[in-house]
Amino acid sequence: MLSQLLKQRYQVVQVLSQGLFCRTYMAQDTHLPEHPTCIVKHFLPSSECPIPVEIRRRIFTREAEALKKLNNYDLVPHLLTYFEDNLEFYLVQEFIEGHPLNAEFLPGKRWSENKVFQLLQEVLGILNFVHSQGMIHRDIKPSNIIRRKQDNRLVLIDFGAVKPIWNQLIRGQENFIPVEYSTIAIGTPGYMPQEQQRGKPRPNSDIYALGIIGIQALTGVHPTQLPEDRNTGELIWQHLTQVNPQLASVLNNMVHYHFKDRYKSAKEVLEALLPLKNLYTPLHESDITLLSEDFTFEPQIPLSTDNTNEVFESEVSAQLLNNYTNDTTISIFPSKSALLMGLLIGAVSGLILMVVSYWSLQVIAPAQVENSQPKPSGLFR
């Protein structure tokens, strides 16, 4: 595939992912100057999907038309074009330079509440737009959220799993799509709620996934490892971290087991977060870089300016300060070696002082006594 030129134009340079419904490639547009990078998605490859070509074409066209609606929004990749080549179907999207959010998730490391709050606000804003266009993403997860290099804004990618809300089944005389092809569960374990696993996603299925990401960020625990209540199916996570009860309440309402118990829309979640806005300071670009996030007690080691766009887990919070207070002793006294040297010098100095004092008593003092005695008078000669 790497040597193939799609539509005599797009040169595949790297395979990014391979799945049952979509293969994703990084490619270069050989028809444009400097061969800019783009993303090519091989939609429903015939080798993986035993679906008749007519149905694949119909689903593909519907998907492309849906993605066109997102082109005027800056925080999703723009659809550049789409085409059919040898009965295979391809989407070409804008390449977003940056790094996926999963690069910021390190096992056992926790984000500050401030950073989680901003994550929720940014992605909820994107979901509010996507849902307003009548679409569900269905695969919200850290690797599908890119922190854009140019401005550190979060961008939602991988809309290959997008599904129109009002058309979960297309039932027309001429364009009927069988149930087995239109209710297939698409998503990622841990981030996918139970209704989505049954192939019946809803707008708040995306809200569930984002809430899971927020909990993962606060606890440092992957969602597949979070305990749950055996009776209700609700996640049990607050014992794993220290979090503002109001923020925890919002997250819990995002991730309820049953979709009826969750927020119904992204706008509703944003309104629930509004009273908390004064508790959290907006993060600036410099606050999201490695220089400020990767807290260290070794300032003598310079940080390369080339890495300021790499973002990792941060514990710069009350919890982080508690961790350092409890686990790390920061001494304001001299080191042991300097202290021993001082004691040695003091001991030697004291010994010398004692010797000099003894010599003074034995030599100098008798001489002074002898000189102070009166000389014999001449009368006794």
Residues carrying an active site annotation: 139
Helix (H) or strand (E) holding 128: helix 113-132
Both tokens of 381, joined, read 């000669």
CA-wise closest residue to 181 among 70, 63, 88? 63
In DSSP terms, which residues pair with 81 in a beta bridge?
A: 92
Beta carbons within 10 angstroms of residue 351's beta carbon: 10
Rounded CA-CA distance 236/250 in Å is: 14
CA-wise closest residue to 220 among 107, 326, 360, 51? 107
The residue count for the chain: 381
* SS3 assignment for 303-372: CCHHHCCCCCCCCCCHHHHHHHHHHCCCCCCCCHHHHHHHHHHHHHHHHHHHHHHHHHHHHHHHHHHHHH
DSSP string, 133-189: TTEE-----GGGEEEETTT--EEE--GGG-EEGGGSS---SSS---HHHHS---S-T
> CA 307, 107, 225: angle at the middle one, nearest 5?
145
